[in-house]
Structure 1
Amino acid sequence: MNLSLGVKVLVVVTCTLFSALVGIGAGWLHHSPGARRRDAVLFGGVAFGGTLTLCLTVLGAVGVLSGGTA
């Protein structure tokens, strides 16, 4: 696909926001009363990083983020 730079930036921002939602949800589900909050934050951060990596890898493989035609 030959998309403009603005559309590619919009796709990356959308992936980042989706990954942030997944990370927040994972951290929220991992937190239990009486437990340390930093464990839930770390778990959410790992979920965010994994989701963002997966999203960008899939979009790169499909050809959305590449410069040439796929």
Structure 2
Amino acid sequence: MNLSLGVRVLIFVVCFLFSVLVSIGAGWMSHKPGSRKRDAVLFGGGAFIGIMTLCLAVLGALGVLSGGTA
């Protein structure tokens, strides 16, 4: 795809925000009453890394984030 830099940045920001929302939900659902909050934060961080990697891999495979024509 031949997208401008601004559009590619917006797509990256959407992937970032989607990953943040998923990681907040994962951390919130993994927290158990009486347990350490640190474990839920680490679980959410792992979910963020996994989802962000997946989003960027899919967009890279589709050619959305490439600079030239695919």
TM-score range, shorter chain: over 0.9
- What TM-score do the two structures reach when normalised by structure 2? 0.97
In structure 1, runs of 5+ residues without a counterpart are: none
SS at match of 2:35: coil
Give distance in 2, aligned partners of 1:21 and 1:60.
21
- Structure 1 runs, 4 residues or longer, greater than 6 Å off: none
Partner of 2:47: 47
Is 1:12 paired with 2:12?
Answer: yes
Partner of 2:3: 3
Alignment coverage as a number of residue pairs? 70
- What TM-score do the two structures reach when normalised by structure 1? 0.97
